[in-house]
Amino acid sequence: MTDEPVPPTTASASPVPAAPAAGNRTVIVWVAEGTWRGCVDAARALAPAGAAIVLLHVSPEEVPGAAHGAYAGLLGRGHPERDPGPRLAELAAASAGELLAAAAQRLGRPCTRAERRGRVEREVVAAAAEADLLILARDGDRSRLGPKSLGRADRFVVDHAPCPVLLVWPDDAPGTDTIPPPPPRPPNHRPHRR
Amino acid sequence: MLAWAVIRPRGWPEAVAAVPAAALVIATGAVSPHAALAEAKRLAPVIGFLAAILVLAQLCDDEGLFRACGTWMARRSAGRPRRLLAQVFATASAITAVLSLDATVVLLTPVVYSTSAQLGARPKPHVYACTHLANSASLLLPVSNLTNLLAFAASGLAFPRFAALMALPWLAAIATEYLVLPRFFAADLDAGAPDAPAARPAGAPVFVLVTVAATLAGFVAASAVGVNPAWAALAGAAVLAARALAQRRTTAIAIGRSAAVSFLVFVLALGVVVQAVVAGGLGRALAPLVPSGTSLAALLATAALGAVLANLVNNLPAVLVLLPLAAPAGPGAVLAVLVGVNIGPNLTYTGSLATLLWRRVLHERGSGPSLGEFTRLGLLTVPAGIVVAVLALWASLHVIGG
């Protein structure tokens, strides 16, 4: 017997839970270095009163991993205690704690803090599994509206998020006059216009 | 046996595996005791040089050189991650060249991480820059990399000539990384660095900087009068050690530990084991693959071979195997080997497929870090870096003369 793709109707066969009261809503705020202030400000302004706000930080595992790999590549050094990988993991945990504390202070509302470590984009999606809203900040050039607004991790999260997503500017958005003018028509369009 | 040397069972120092392996190849007659002794004599000055540099780097760290680098980078780049990346490039390239790649990996990388976290910048581009430059910026001086020290001994070049020939390839390799990394990590760098750096005393460790500068001058002076430049490294380490001991900021035991005796023994044993492997047929098998001459095509092929071997086993055995085969073609070929074995390891996480596979099998269960990003970055920088650096080497050989 071959596996057949599950029809979409089956997926929604499970009973749909009644819309939770506003007090039970969960809003996840993805706290990332450099851009988190915009997300926290959006949560403060837009999250319903009484919503459970979760401040989420994910430390990329490949950063201590790269340092560990570089040390492991130095053949013959022995001395595992000199491996910078675990040291970087410690520093990352400390810096994540400080970042979340600063975010909680800026939020000024009751919230919970969640620290994860792993592949950033997958951890964010996993953390948002039960959420009602995920707030994240766009990437890219801050001086103008326009591409590329999503880096690799943001792109993955927006593509795979299991809940509504609110994409905010890290700080004040530039004006619409920063959008470049449309490109000129290609030359081969001219004959049609005559 | 090479694979044996690459494994590190139960976290034991590699010497535990390598010394019995070396004893075994001598006992079975794969290498005669006489040849083993000759190899040990050849490697001894290299190992002494290495020990002096390791001690020098550790003492520089004790004296606050790396912390001062962090403060300097933070002050000069507040709010601008791209500027921080440029500072990391400058610092990591200089530290790697002068105090060896070990110093960059072990001592500088945590400082760079802290600096980036302190500024509120995303740390990934800066940490990746450190790990990449530890390899690709290790072309300049014989002391920058153990592979260089081995090649330096085999090439017969004087210290200043080695540095003069490798200056352009070193800059070319760094420039290649600098063209790729800011684009590769554009999203992380555009995220900004909004936090102000903590106010820290800005005092530079002048004594350390002067000692390191004098050591560098000593390398050149020693070569000029025909003395092994290892003595200059030893003198530099001795000056810093005497000062630190007099001020009771370190102990003789700590200094002894930073010389990493088990590592030195490992290098010696590895030299003997590799000699056996080369004599046992690997040398004959590889000889047709090593191009003769120093035409641009020959240099490129030599570097490519070095990079492939470095990724299959590790760059240390790779350079030991290739040096005797490349040396007859002259110093140009030896330096091309270095370009390959030094830049090449950026292609594979942990420096070689063998290390990666064995560590995966023996030590680390569960999912390791994502290798995709590391490998993509390596594919963008390594082949381009090797080609550009070999072109630069070829030009240097023509201008300065091999």
Express each pLDDT in B23-70 by its tens digit.
888 888 788 888 888 888 888 888 999 999 999 999 999 999 999 999
Contacts with A66 from chain B: Cβ below 8 Å: 127-128, 131, 349, 369, 374
Q: Whole domain around residue A158: which residue ranges? A: 20-172
Nearest-CB residue to B350 (from A72, A82, A91): A72
Inside any domain, residue A111 = yes
The reported pTM is 0.89
Residue from the list B109, B128, B270 with its beta carbon closest to the beta carbon of A76: B270
The per-residue pLDDT for range A127-161, each reduced to its tens digit, is 999 999 999 999 888 888 888 889 889 999 999 99
**pLDDT confidence of residue A46:** 92
Residue A38 domain-assigned?
Answer: yes
The phi and psi torsions of B264 (rounded to 5 degrees) equal -60, -40
Strand, helix or coil for residue A116: strand
| Chain B residues lying within 8 Å of A69, measured CB to CB | 131, 349-351, 369, 374
A56 domain residue, yes or no: yes
Across the interface, whether the CB atoms of B134 and A70 are under 8 A apart is answered yes
We report the CATH number of the domain holding residue A90 as 3.40.50.620
From A93's Cα to the closest Cα of chain B, the distance in A is 11
- Determine which of A30, A41, A68, A74 to mutate to test the interface with B (most B C-beta atoms within 10 Å): A74
Kindly report the CA angle at B135 between B132 and B137, in degrees rounded to 5? 90
Are the CB atoms for B314 and B354 separated by under 8 Å?
A: yes
Put simply, the chain B residues between 5 and 24 with a CB less than 8 A from any chain A CB are 5-6, 8, 11-15, 18
Residue A191 lies in a domain: no
Q: Burial-class residue B181 by CB neighbours within 10 Å (0-12, 13-18, 19+).
A: buried
Q: Which of A33, A76, A142 sits opposite B120 (nearest CB)?
A: A33
Q: Which residue has the tokens 């003018």?
A: A181
- Partner A contacted by B110 (CB < 8 A): yes
Listed residue (B385, B391, B121, B347) closest to A35, CA to CA: B121
Contact residues on chain B for A168, CB-CB shorter than 8 A: none
Give domain status of residue A105, yes or no.
Answer: yes
Specify the amino acid at residue B219: F
Question: Does residue A137 fall inside a structural domain?
Answer: yes
Give the count of domains, chain A.
Answer: 1
Question: What are A38-80's pLDDT values in tens digits?
Answer: 999 999 999 998 899 999 999 999 899 899 888 888 887 777 7
Using one digit for the tens of pLDDT, what is the confidence trace for B73-93? 998 887 799 999 999 999 999
Q: Report, as ranges of residue numbers, the positions in chain B whose pLDDT lies below 70.
A: 1-14, 200-202, 354-370, 402
CA atoms of B223 and B143, how far apart (whole Å):
14
Examine residue A5 and state whether it is found in any structural domain, yes or no. Answer: no
Closest Cα to residue A63, out of B354, B121, B294, B224?
Answer: B121
Show Cβ contacts of residue A64 under 8 Å, excluding neighbours closer than 6 positions: A84, A85, A86, A88, A89, A92, B369
Exposure string (b/e) for B369-390, b if CB count within 10 Å is 16 or more?
bbbebbeebbebbbbbbbbbbb
Which residue has better confidence, A86 or A192? A86
A78 and B15 within 8 Å at the Cβ level: the answer is yes
What whole-number distance in Å separates Cα of residue A47 and Cα of residue A41?
Answer: 10
Q: Which residues of A touch B (CB under 8 A)?
A: 32-35, 37, 60-67, 69-80, 82, 84, 87-88, 91-92, 95, 99, 119, 139-142, 148, 150-154, 170
Classify residue A112: in a domain, yes or no: yes
Helices B261-277, B14-27: crossing angle, 10 deg rounding: 40
With a CB-CB cutoff of 8 Å, which residues 186-245 of chain B face chain A? 186-188, 190-194
Q: How far apart are CA B303 and CA B325, in angstroms?
A: 13
Summarize pLDDT for B312-325 with one digit per residue, the tens: 888 888 999 999 89
- Tell me, what's the pLDDT at A5? 40
Residue B323 parent element (H or E): helix B315-326
Alpha-carbon distance B207 to B211, whole Å?
A: 6
- Taking an 8 Å cut-off on Cβ atoms, the answer to whether A34 and B192 are in contact is yes
**pLDDT tens, B102-133?**
999 999 999 999 999 999 999 999 999 999 99
Instruction: Give chain B's mean pLDDT.
Output: 87
**Residue found under tokens 């028509």:** A185
